[in-house]
Amino acid sequence: MSENKNLTINVGESKTGRILFDEPLTGTNANGAWYLYKFNVSGDELGFFATEGCHKQLSAYKKGDTVTISHNDIGGGKSKYVVSSDVVPSAAPSGGSKPDWDKINEDKKEDIHRQVCLKLAVDLLGDVEGKLTPDQIGIVQHNLGALKMVLDHSVVKEDDLPF
């Protein structure tokens, strides 16, 4: 008997896996549309129910691509999934139409902003000897979330600022 296992990514965590199918299973329920992706994570086949935003990011990749999904705290009790990969996502949708260069450039800009925020969040720690401790990682995650809120023009309370 086959047991369906799901991939859970808690806020502040990242998981890396290989996409097993070109398209997710989709459907709707009382909560709206759902997107079920299947991944191979450390040899286990796991399902992942992607949010609308995460689905938009994942839809740029195809079967066999390895991606990392990060579940980031963006403050105010909100979080966001961010998909990254060493693989260059497919620029053109499977229908063969022209690439949406505005979307591609916006995604690149968002990725660059995320990288800069991460660098600034780590730089705020100062000099670190060896590996980061769990406390230091927590500080980086908090600072990263606060910096991204500033970048996204979200409402920022003084307590949220890392500086």
Residue 92 maps to a domain: no
Question: Secondary structure of 12-48 in the HEC alphabet?
Answer: CCEEEEEECCCCCEEEEECCEEEEEEEEEECCEEEEE
Average pLDDT over residues 143-160: 71
Question: Among residues of the chain, what percentage have pLDDT more than 90?
Answer: 39
Residue 26 maps to a domain: yes
Domain count, the chain: 2
Q: Mark whether 2 and 81 lie in a shared domain.
A: yes
- Of the three residues 35, 68, 87, the one that is the final residue of a domain is 87
C-alpha span between 158 and 160 (Å, rounded): 5
- Of the three residues 87, 122, 155, the one that is the final residue of a domain is 87
Q: Mark whether 41 and 106 lie in a shared domain.
A: no
**pTM score, whole prediction:** 0.53
For residues 33 and 83, the answer to whether their CB atoms sit within 8 Å is: no
C-alpha span between 43 and 39 (Å, rounded): 9
Tell me: the pLDDT tens digits for 101-115?
Answer: 888 888 888 888 888
Average pLDDT over residues 25-39: 91
What domain range includes position 113?
A: 98-163
Is the torsion defined by CA of 19, 20, 21, 24 positive or negative?
Answer: negative
Q: Mark whether 41 and 113 lie in a shared domain.
A: no
Q: Mark whether 107 and 76 lie in a shared domain.
A: no
Q: Mark whether 3 and 81 lie in a shared domain.
A: yes
pLDDT category at 93 given cuts 50, 70, 90 is very low
Range from 48-57, 113-122, 143-152 that averages highest in pLDDT: 48-57
Q: Which residues contact 113 (CB under 8 A, 6 or more apart)?
A: 148, 151
